[in-house]
Structures are given as structure tokens and as C-alpha cells.
Amino acid sequence: TGCVSIAAEAADITPRSCYRLRRHPKGAAFAKAWDDALLVATGRLVAIAFERAIVGTPREIWRHGKLVAEMSIPSDKMMMFMLQRLLPIIYGQTGPGNGTVEAQIARARAALPTTLGALTDVDEESPDALVPEDYLPQPPRDEGA
């Protein structure tokens, strides 16, 4: 889904539990599945970004407490961001040895059923509070992990 709260609800667990399991020493399979799911979900984000750059975001115009107009305003910032990133994506400059973005997404999509199948329950240990690091992007995991 690309959204922790939606995925957690579908799995009938709390987002907090997701973050805790992600950083738990026995949660490597969950963390791998998380990383793969996020990579697969990037296609949705790209579509939204293009739509915001081209079509825009809906805006309401109010005057004296009354709605007088609705319009969509394209995002010049998003357009510039997409244009700056477009050529590296086309030419596959995503980092040494990683291949194109499309290849990375294809690998993640192919691996996702296996990584999801490897998930197991983790015994509850002392509950840890969420820490700010839970919300930071995680570095790529070693394929051997």
C-alpha cells in the first residue's frame, strides 16, 4: 500500500507494532517485506506526482464565506522536480550496480511473495516505545540478511 496505517489495519495490528517489528532483531523478514512493498508502491507515487505536476491540486476559492470557484492548479515545483529526475531514470543512473528503477521495482515485485511468506510471529518482549529512528528511511538491507 505504501502506507503503514493502511497495511497495519489490513493485517489487524497497530502501526506501532509494525514499526517495532521492523526494528526487532527477529523481524528481518518483516523488514525485508516492508522495504519491498515500499519499492513496489513507488509506481503509485510517481503517478500522483505526474498528476499534480500536470493537472494540479484542487483548490477552492471562497469570498465572504461563499464558495465562488473551484480550480486545479498545476505544481511548478513538482514539474521541475520531475523534469530534473526524468533523465537519470531513463538512463538508469540509480546508483552503482542497482540497475534501472524499473529493474529494481521488478526485483522487489518478484521477491515480495517470498518475503511475505517468510514472515513469522515474533514473541512479545518488553514493549519498546517508538523512537524517532522508527520514522527514518532505512538503509538497503544486505540480500543475505
Query: Is residue 29 in a domain?
Result: yes
Least confident of 20-24, 29-33, 94-98: 94-98
Query: Is residue 67 in a domain?
Result: yes
For the stretch 74-112, pLDDT in tens is 888 887 777 766 655 443 445 445 566 677 778 888 988
Query: Is residue 134 in a domain?
Result: no
Count structural domains, the chain.
1
Query: Is residue 136 in a domain?
Result: no
In the DSSP assignment, the letter for residue 93 is -
Query: Is residue 43 in a domain?
Result: yes
Q: How far apart are CA 136 and CA 145, in angstroms?
A: 20
Query: Is residue 69 in a domain?
Result: yes
Contact (CB, 8 A) for 3 and 116: no
Query: Is residue 124 in a domain?
Result: no
Mean pLDDT for all residues in the chain: 76
Residue 12: pLDDT over 80: yes
Beta-carbon count within 10 A of 33 CB: 23
Helix intervals (H) in the chain? 4-10, 15-23, 28-54, 76-90, 101-117
The 3-state DSSP class for residue 142 equals coil
Average pLDDT over residues 13-35: 88
Query: Is residue 94 in a domain?
Result: yes
Residue 134: pLDDT over 70: no
Strand-pairing partners, residue 71, are 59
Determine the pLDDT at residue 137.
Answer: 54
Determine the pLDDT at residue 49.
Answer: 84
pLDDT-based confidence at 145, cuts 50/70/90? very low
Determine the pLDDT at residue 136.
Answer: 56
Phi first, then psi, for residue 135 (nearest 5°) are: -95, 0
Chain-centroid distance, C-alpha 29 = 17
Q: How far apart are CA 38 and CA 32, in angstroms?
A: 10
Domain that includes residue 59, residue range: 4-119
Query: Is pTM beyond 0.75 here?
Result: no
